[in-house]
Amino acid sequence: MGHVANQKWKAKKLKLLVEANYKCCYCGMKMDFETATIDHIIPKSKGGGNIIDNLAICCSPCNIRKGNKILICQVLPKYKKKKKPKKRRHGKAKK
């Protein structure tokens, strides 16, 4: 990996780590920049790429355990469905 590519990879890693609040997306373990690893949600061996939407931050044991599997049942924080806002009832406003 070239110097520029390595810098871009480190920037992606930091972005993912901050978004995940420094926690593994699979087990929730706290991590720092050195202990965190980047996981391909859809493995490169199965057609996944290096785009940020296909990357997740996780601890090394979870990354090794996952291997090149696609975890369909695993819900990552960035893929959770946003809750629809509750509809307000028309009428008097609460005081």
Please give the pLDDT value at position 88: 54
- Condensed to tens digits (0 to 9), the pLDDT of residues 25-82 reads 999 999 999 999 999 999 999 999 999 999 999 999 999 999 999 876 554 555 444 4
Please give the pLDDT value at position 4: 77
32 within 8 A of 18, measured Cβ to Cβ: no
Q: State if pTM tops 0.75.
A: no
Question: pLDDT grade, residue 86 (50/70/90)?
Answer: low
Please give the pLDDT value at position 93: 52
Cβ burial 39-78 (10 Å sphere, 16+ → b, else e)? bbbeeeeeebeeeeeebbbbbeebbeebeeeeeeeeeeee
Question: For residues 83 and 61, what is the distance between their CA atoms, to the nearest angstrom?
Answer: 31
End-to-end CA distance of the chain: 61
Which run of H or E residues covers position 6? helix 3-19
The type of residue at 63 is N
> Which domains occur in the chain, in start order?
3-79 (1.10.30.50)
- Residue 43 CB contacts under 8 Å (≥ 6 apart), including other chains: 67, 68, 69, 70
